[in-house]
Amino acid sequence: MRVALFTDSYLPNTDGVVSSILAYRQGLAAEGHGMLVFAPDAPGAKHERGVRRFPGVVFPPYPDYRMPLFPNIPPRLLKEERIDLVHSKAMITMGLAARSAAKKASLPSLASLETMIPEGTHYVIPIRNGMVEEIGRRVGWSYLRWFYSGFDVVSAPSHHAQSIMAENRIESVVLPSPIDTGRFKPNGKGAAVKEKLGITGKKVVASVGRVVKEKNYDFLLDVAKRIRDDGIVFLVVGKGPYLSELKRKAASHGLGKRFVFTGFVPDKNLVDYYNAADCFVFPSKFETQGLSALEALSCGKPSCVMENTPMGELVKNKKNGFVFSDDESECANKLESCLVRSPRMAPFARKSALAYSVPNCTKRLLSLYRRLLE
């Protein structure tokens, strides 16, 4: 089987979509199948076999990303590459290219929701006004309903995302993205990271991902104020457009010593930073699945996550972490409990992530592909 995979982001950029694509390429190859990736060009991108790049313009909210304006994939190219079906993980211009290519080549098609675009309209509508934001959300969902109507099947990465899509009149099946449980695992290298960061002897609560406002990092500042133990530090791993503002706010709240910001960490070193944590926290309400929470669990790190989110599907209270509400004091208490129970919960944390291994998720993906090809 040969799959044409369309994406709005790819290496050298790293995010949840890229991680999912790399994991699925690995899983499909192990089963004897191939994937041809259609992606935007990006600064520092290297030539890679099996990847077709399209030049584009800078996407202002994320300067490292490029957005091709009129990507066109002629049917003859898909025929020459012996493509059997089209899978879009893109939702903007490369997604439109996927929709068009599948239709022109008369190929079965699957589109996967990756980001709650309607909740991120503030990037293109900078006016901070409740009514304007609501109009932006409605326009966003209207676009997605039209966009997904051009595909044979639509998938959601979690039951939570599926229910939100259903509320907005988009039918979908659940298809979670995998993580590489062979790479994200306890490795004993956390102590070296803590020494490097000057936090040896501290209890570490880690958060990993792109630092953007919608991921609710401000909530962690309010939580930190309610933790009295000076031996607890918050380790924020990642970069993003909100990082400078978050650093400024931490300093202005007198939390400069309580928060450690690493900035960008190379992907090859990321597992070591997970291993430096005693527990993981994910306050975001914006996610569609929450791969970083899964990666933390896979490293044996109990996780504290927000209720009524996709991550809430992954965590069982007092087993592999805690689920908290948007009450800062409750979150602080549960983080402290998680740190105390961490050694006992670590084995179950690791076990709970194994269901999302590359082989397990690839089986689900192939089942969906075969259904499309029937």
- Residue by residue, pLDDT tens for the chain (374 residues) are 999 999 999 999 888 899 999 999 999 999 999 999 999 999 899 999 999 999 999 987 777 889 998 899 999 999 999 999 999 999 999 999 999 999 999 999 999 999 887 665 555 555 566 677 788 889 999 999 999 999 999 999 999 999 999 999 999 999 999 999 999 999 999 999 999 999 999 999 999 998 988 899 999 999 999 998 999 999 999 999 999 999 999 999 999 999 999 999 998 999 999 999 999 999 998 889 999 999 999 999 999 999 999 999 999 999 999 999 999 999 999 999 999 999 999 999 999 999 999 999 999 999 999 999 99
Amino acid type, 89: K
SS3 356: helix
Burial category of 359 from C-beta neighbours within 10 Å (exposed 0-12, middle 13-18, buried 19 and up):
middle
pLDDT at 12: 92
* Complete domains list, the chain, with CATH: 2-178+357-373 (3.40.50.2000), 190-356 (3.40.50.2000)
pLDDT at 123: 53
pLDDT at 331: 98
pLDDT at 338: 98
pLDDT at 53: 96
- Contact between 263 and 239 under an 8 Å Cβ cutoff? The reply is yes
Q: What angle do CA 185, 367, 299 make, to 5 degrees?
A: 10
pLDDT at 120: 59
Place of tokens 């931490």: 250
- Cβ contacts of residue 276 below 8 Å, gap of 6+? 190, 191, 193, 194, 197, 199, 204, 206, 235
User: Tokens at residue 104, please?
Assistant: 């022109």
